[in-house]
Amino acid sequence: MMTISEQKTISKSQQLFQRAQQSIPGGVNSPVRAFKSVGGTPIFIQRAKGAYLYDADGNKYLDYINSWGPMILGHAYEPVVSAIREKANDSTSFGAPTELEIEIAELIKSMVPNVDLIRMVSSGTEACMSAIRLARGYTGRNKIVKFEGCYHGHADSFLVKAGSGLATFNIQTVPGVTAGVATDTLTSPYNDLEAIQKLVNGHKGEIAAIIIEPVAGNMGCIPPVPGFLEALRIICDKEDIVFIFDEVMTGFRLSAGGAQKTLGIDADLVTYGKVIGGGMPVGAFGGKKEIMQYVAPIGNVYQAGTLSGNPIAMIAGFTTLSVLKNDPSIYRDLEKKTIYLHEGLKKVFKNSNIPFVINRLGSMISVHFSEKPVIDFTSASQSNNQLFNQFFHHMLREGIYLPPSAFETWFLSNALTFEDIDRTISVAEKFRPQ
């Protein structure tokens, strides 16, 4: 495989980035793509197939981002591409109900625990924003609790001590978010049960919802410590708080039933994105009927979207989810491949005497250059993220495309082979910190 270090050119990406900055803020349509955290010029992608990306200069990369999760079956997966092509012949949008919307809703209900009703939207941000509004309408309360370092999209409520892009750019107070919104958003450290209990006790009868990434993916991959989610479920039951799982990343990636199924924890509401669109822009929120029946038009909590249930997004998602439901071996294979990568990288870093922590659950994994466990946003921030930036560029030069931020989880696709992983490990072995 020809790599950048052999071809020694990303000239077209450089030209495109310069051109983009004349018309697009920062030259990108999502901040982390700008490579501002890791430095250098972002790579402009031209096409992708299977486990590989191809940039505008013709360079080839092994992809560990996979569009931030949805390409779980690999890029340009033929059944999905064929289904999109066929459906597009009927029109790309109707703004009216279709049978396909019913079919994907029924499919999701058949796969996921605790989803009686589900509403399609167009993004993960929209799904989380709608779920919070619904929780407030259902409980008659205003305050929500989120966890430091968890990212639930760019709605105002969620930008208080969020991870992901905000952490990458060291933005913790966001202009444009009003003091009133910030006051209604309470934050607590992830994986700290004592802190959340104290917070809830201090706001009795005021909290509408606790929203959490059941496996955090926006400060690297950080799984919940044993007992943490179980305790949150008990607190929510005791205090009549709506417990929301943000499964935009984990839904249909950790298992066909998502984090609820994998971890054995029931949520009241669940938000989805990524995989359910098969790579198309899509999101959804769903949950228990007693709560979901408050959504318009059967209830008074308003939510709407002209492109909600878009037929192209629905057929891409329906095709992807059908494959995942009908072939459980995909999740077993993904787990084996992620464990194989984990063990290989662990051996490499041990042999090189580089302090490291590798966090993993299912096909989500991240590397932190740290001497102590990484279990929350504070410990993720205290890792040697400058060293990660060096590691990122070393891997990129050799054709391995990692997330361009120490605060993002890696995602594997099932198109990735063990030979691909061996190459990844071999490239990591050549890393020499400066």
The one-character DSSP state at 224 is: P
Residues 6+ apart with CB under 8 A from 416: 51, 62, 74, 337
Structure tokens at 79: 């059944």
Query: Which residues partner with 295 through β-bridges?
Result: 301
CA nearest to 387, candidates 409, 368, 402: 368
| Residue type, position 404, single letter | P
151 counts as catalytic: yes
Q: Is 152:128 a contact under the CB 8 Å cutoff?
A: yes
- The Cα–Cα gap between 383 and 395 comes to 19
User: First and final CA of the chain: distance in angstroms?
Assistant: 26
331 counts as catalytic: no
Structure tokens at 393: 């560029």
Q: One of 64, 138, 151, 272 is an active-site residue; which one?
A: 151
SS3 323: helix
Maximal C-alpha separation, the chain: 62
Q: One of 36, 87, 161, 274 is an active-site residue; which one?
A: 274
- The Cα–Cα gap between 151 and 286 comes to 19
246 counts as catalytic: yes
Q: How many CA atoms lie within 13 A of 301 on its CB side?
A: 18
* 242-246, strands of its sheet edge to edge: 117-121, 283-287, 269-272, 242-246, 207-212, 143-147, 185-188
- The Cα–Cα gap between 209 and 146 comes to 9
Residues 6+ apart with CB under 8 A from 390: 431, 433, 434
Q: One of 55, 192, 246, 376 is an active-site residue; which one?
A: 246
Query: Which residues partner with 144 through β-bridges?
Result: 185, 209
Radius of gyration of the chain (CA): 21
Structure tokens at 346: 């662990």
CA nearest to 273, candidates 286, 292, 287: 286
CA distances for 298 relative to 122, 270, 289, 294, angstroms: 21, 19, 11, 7
Residues labelled catalytic:
151, 246, 274
